[in-house]
Copies of this chain bind each other. A is one copy, B any other.
């Protein structure tokens, strides 16, 4: 049952993180993570990129994709403030996992075969925060995106 009738239509639509360099981040989230770019909105000072997994493998038109990003869950919004990618004084963004700036933790991707997924990430040169063999939890890994945000990689069916 929905908690209340008033919230029955609500969806957890997206999560937004800032990125330094869209070239690096789009290559990472599309080619390595496997998301599709649903929409790109360029403004004067910044550009927004909306990505999601296209599970039903549907062939959507650009217009359909642009709408789909508001009607589903699991969308990732990347915000690029123009200029950070070439600014030698840009300090980078905080991952949220160390002081100062602790708060946000990570996003998480479920996969069918976590060992195979991690082998592929290794082969593609992805940085790991925690390999499957590190620590206590042997069925969870953490990789890092180009800005250093943590991405948990875990099997789609598991129990803690």
Contacts and interface: CB of A to CB of B under 8 A. Distances in A.
B104 A1 contact: no
A48 B160 contact: yes
A17 B103 CA distance: 6
| Central interface residue in A13, A100, A106, by most chain B CB within 10 Å | A13
Protomer copies: 2
Nearest to A67: B157
Nearest to A72: B73
A74 B8 CA distance: 15
Given A10-B33, A12-B76, A103 B108 contact: no
Given A11-B109, A55-B11, A110-B13, A70 B103 contact: no
A77 B110 CA distance: 14
A70 to B, nearest CB: 6
Interface string A31-55: 1011110010100000010001111
